[in-house]
């Protein structure tokens, strides 16, 4: 109801906050229409929003889905799913992807990383993943951190595990570069892009699914290949399996 939204925003003054609970782009479009009307009349609003509002305010249509089958096939090499997220949904998604596509499963042990064995363990994991990538796609997943480390803060624990995952993926990419990478976990995605693959600027080519999983085109190693940013706690239980199926041409 345009009139109702306008009535609320007209009453806002003196930096009074207004919370908008929009459930879809149609409702955001109404909000944008009212904001533009009031701004044309001289009102000013500071908007603290999520990315959906930006799309509505810029009046952009839905972004295109990336051609995962074409991008995955272009690389030719096997792919890597690197998992830093430990949510129950992630565990379910990974299990279903492994079951559907016969992915090799390799664990990066948090206990060994924190127990003084980091260098040797990373070397062992790296060799195992590189060997598996010769024949099939691989999931490299961190385990949960052990309880009771009073000498380390939670931030120090998380950073040590992240550093180990970055080091392993970086070395894997040197030994046997994967044809595609799915990074499971928002912070994991950033760490791998910036520190394992040294990516500062890249191109977003679309989404793997509507509203989920941005797909980046990485240009390193002499050819472009897809890097998928998959936040840890989003999507259905089967969506990771479906996306991997697209990448390997089995969907």
When pLDDT is averaged across residues 124-129 and rounded to a whole number, the result is 98
pLDDT over 60 (residue 74): no
pLDDT in tens, 14-52: 888 999 999 889 999 999 999 999 999 999 999 998 878
What percent of the chain is predicted at pLDDT more than 90? 66
Residue 143 to residue 128: CA distance in whole angstroms: 16
> For 68-248, which CATH superfamily applies?
Four-carbon acid sugar kinase, nucleotide binding domain (3.40.980.20)
Nearest CA-CA partner of 140 in 83, 79, 197: 83
Question: Which pairing describes strands 223-230 and 180-184: parallel, antiparallel, or unpaired?
Answer: parallel
The larger pLDDT score, comparing residue 34 to residue 148, is at: 34
Spatial contact of 82 and 178, defined as CB atoms under 8 Å apart: no
Tokens of 155: 């931030």
Strand ordering across the sheet containing 212-220:
104-108, 138-142, 79-83, 180-184, 223-230, 212-220, 203-209
Residue 73 to residue 97: CA distance in whole angstroms: 18
Which of 6-15, 45-54, 66-75 bottoms out in mean pLDDT, i.e. has the lowest?
Answer: 66-75
Nearest CA-CA partner of 166 in 84, 65, 58, 55: 84
- Phi/psi of residue 146, each to 5°? -70, 150
Residue 148 to residue 102: CA distance in whole angstroms: 35
pLDDT over 80 (residue 186): yes
Each domain of the chain, given as residue ranges in start order, spans: 2-57, 68-248
Nearest CA-CA partner of 176 in 104, 242, 113: 104
What does the pLDDT read at residue 251? Answer: 45
């Amino acid at each position: 109801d345009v009139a109702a939204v306008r009535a609320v925003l007209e009453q806002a003054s003196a930096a009074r906050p207004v919370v908008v609970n929009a459930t879809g782009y149609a409702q955001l479009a109404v909000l944008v229409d009212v904001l533009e009307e009031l701004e044309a009349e001289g009102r000013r609003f500071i908007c603290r929003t999520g990315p959906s509002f930006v799309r509505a305010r810029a009046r952009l249509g839905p972004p295109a889905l990336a051609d995962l089958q074409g991008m995955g096939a272009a690389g030719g090499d096997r792919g890597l799913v690197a998992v830093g997220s430990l949510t129950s949904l992630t565990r379910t998604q990974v299990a279903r992807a492994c079951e559907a596509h016969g992915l090799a499963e390799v664990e990066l042990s948090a206990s060994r990383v924190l127990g003084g064995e980091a260098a040797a363990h990373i070397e062992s994991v790296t060799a195992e993943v590189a060997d598996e990538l010769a024949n099939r796609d691989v999931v490299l997943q961190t385990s949960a951190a052990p309880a009771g480390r009073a000498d380390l803060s939670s931030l120090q624990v998380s950073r040590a595990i992240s550093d180990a995952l970055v080091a392993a993926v970086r070395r894997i990419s040197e030994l046997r570069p994967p044809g595609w990478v799915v990074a499971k976990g928002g912070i994991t995605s950033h760490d791998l892009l910036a520190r394992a693959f040294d990516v500062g600027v890249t191109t977003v080519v679309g989404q793997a699914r509507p509203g989920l999983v941005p797909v980046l085109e990485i240009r390193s190693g002499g050819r472009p290949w897809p890097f998928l940013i998959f936040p840890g706690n989003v999507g259905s239980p089967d969506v990771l399996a479906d996306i991997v199926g697209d990448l390997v041409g089995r969907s």
